[in-house]
Amino acid sequence: MTFGGYKDSPNPGHQKKKKIAIIGVSSVLLVAMVAAVAVGVTRNHGSSKTDDNANNGGDVSTSNKAIQTLCQPTDYRETCEKTLTSAAGNTSDYKALIKAGFQVAVEELNKAIANSTTLRELAKDSRTNQALENCKELIEYAIDDLQESFDKIGAFEYSKFDEYLADLKVWLSGAITYEQTCLDGFENTTGDAGTKMKQVLKTAQEITKNGLAMVTETTQLLTNLNIESVSRRLLSNDDQRRLQEPADHWFSEGQRRLLAATVDSVKADVVVAKDGSGKYKTINEALKDIPLKSNKTFVIHIKAGVYAEHVMIEKHMTHVTFIGDGPTKTKITGSKNFVDGTPTFKTATVAVVGNYFFAKDIGFENTAGAEKHQAVALRVSSDMSVFFNCRMDGHQDTLYAHAHRQFYRDCTISGTIDFVFGNSATVFQNCTMFVRKPMDNQQCIVTAQGRTDRREPSALILQGCTIAAEPTYLAVKDINRAYLGRPWKEFSRTIIMQSTIGAFIQPEGWLPWMGSFGLNTCFYAEIGNKGPGSDQANRVAWRGVKKITLDHAAKFTPGQFIGGDKWIKPTGVPYTSTLL
In whole angstroms, what is the distance from residue 62 CA to residue 58 CA?
6
The last residue of one of the domains, among 205, 225, 245, is 225
Residues 422 and 381 occupy one common structural domain: yes
Q: What is the mean pLDDT of residues 480-507?
A: 98
Q: What is residue 310's predicted lDDT score, i.e. its pLDDT?
A: 98
What secondary structure letter does DSSP report for 68? H
In a shared domain, residues 551 and 423: yes
Residue 161 lies in a domain: yes
Domain count, the chain: 2
List residues with catalytic annotation.
Answer: 418
Residue 114: CATH number of its domain: 1.20.140.40
CA distances from 568 to 74, 166, 255, 318 (A): 33, 16, 13, 16
Which of 180, 207, 225 is at the close of a domain? 225
Torsion angle of C-alpha atoms 194, 200, 202, 204, degrees rounded to 10: -130
pLDDT of residue 109: 45
The C-alpha atoms of residue 405 and residue 356 are separated, in whole angstroms, by 10
What mean pLDDT comes out for the span 122-133?
A: 78
Q: What is the structure's pLDDT at 1?
A: 40
Residue type, 455: R
Per DSSP, 476 falls in state T
Question: Does residue 318 lie within any of the structural domains?
Answer: yes
| 352 & 451 share domain | yes
Residue 35's pLDDT band (cuts 50, 70, 90): very low
Is the per-residue pLDDT at 350 higher than 50? yes
What pLDDT is recorded for position 199?
84
Same domain for 540 and 427: yes
- Examine the pLDDT at 284 and tell me if it is beyond 90: yes
| Structural domain contains residue 579 | no
The one-letter amino acid at 505: I
Better-scored residue on pLDDT, 12 or 316:
316
Q: Are residues 197 and 288 in the same domain?
A: no
**CATH (domain of 457):** 2.160.20.10
**pLDDT at residue 23, as a whole number:** 40
Average pLDDT over residues 163-186: 89
User: Among the listed ranges 250-264, 533-547, 558-572, which one has the minimum average pLDDT value?
Assistant: 250-264
Q: Are residues 209 and 269 in the same domain?
A: no
DSSP string, 316-377: T--SEEEEES-TTTEEEEE---TTTT--GGG--SEEE-SSS-EEES-EEEE-S-GGG-B--S
In this structure, the answer to whether residues 258 and 202 fall within a common structural domain is: no
Q: What is the 3-state secondary structure (H, E, C) of 203-253?
A: HHHHHHHHHHHHHHHHHHHHHHCCCCCCCHHHCCHHHHHHHHCCCCCCCCH
Q: What integer pLDDT is reported at residue 67 of this predicted model?
A: 73
pLDDT given for residue 265 in this prediction: 57
pLDDT for the residue numbered 104:
53
Question: Domain check: are 428 and 565 in the same one?
Answer: yes
Indicate if 205 and 328 belong to the same structural domain: no
In a domain, 242, yes or no: no
Interval 496-549: pLDDT, tens: 999 999 999 999 999 999 999 999 999 999 999 999 999 999 999 999 999 999
Residue 321 lies in a domain: yes
182 located within any domain: yes
Does residue 28 belong to any structural domain of this protein? no
Domain containing residue 401: 253-571
Domain assignment present for 438? yes
| Among the ranges given (20-34, 270-284, 327-341, 365-379), the one the predictor scored with the smallest mean pLDDT | 20-34
What is the rounded distance in angstroms from the CA atom of residue 425 to the CA atom of residue 555?
12
State the pLDDT at residue 294.
84
What are all long-range contacts of 277-283, with beta carbons under 8 Å and residues at least 24 apart?
A: 277/303, 278/303, 282/307, 282/309, 283/307, 283/309, 283/311, 283/332
Residue 250: pLDDT over 80? no
Does residue 413 share a domain with residue 562? yes
Question: Is pLDDT of 379 > 80?
Answer: yes
The whole-angstrom distance between residue 532's C-alpha and the CA centroid of its chain comes to 33
Q: For position 460, what pLDDT does the model report? A: 98
User: Average pLDDT, stretch 369-382?
Assistant: 98
Q: What is the mean pLDDT of the chain?
A: 80
**Cα angle for residues 458, 353, 522 (degrees, 5° grid):** 20
Which pairing describes strands 493-497 and 482-485: parallel, antiparallel, or unpaired? unpaired
Residues 177 and 258 in one domain: no
Per-residue pLDDT band at 353 (split at 50, 70, 90) = very high
The answer on pLDDT for 463 being more than 70 is yes
- Given CA atoms 67, 70, 72, 76 in this order, what sign does their dihedral have? negative
- Which H or E run includes 406? strand 405-409
Among the candidates 170, 205, 225, a domain finishes at: 225
For residues 260 and 201, membership in a common domain is answered with no
Give 91's pLDDT tier (boundaries 50, 70, 90). low
Q: Which range in 5-19, 74-88, 183-197, 416-430 is most confidently predicted, on average pLDDT? A: 416-430
Predicted pLDDT at 32:
42
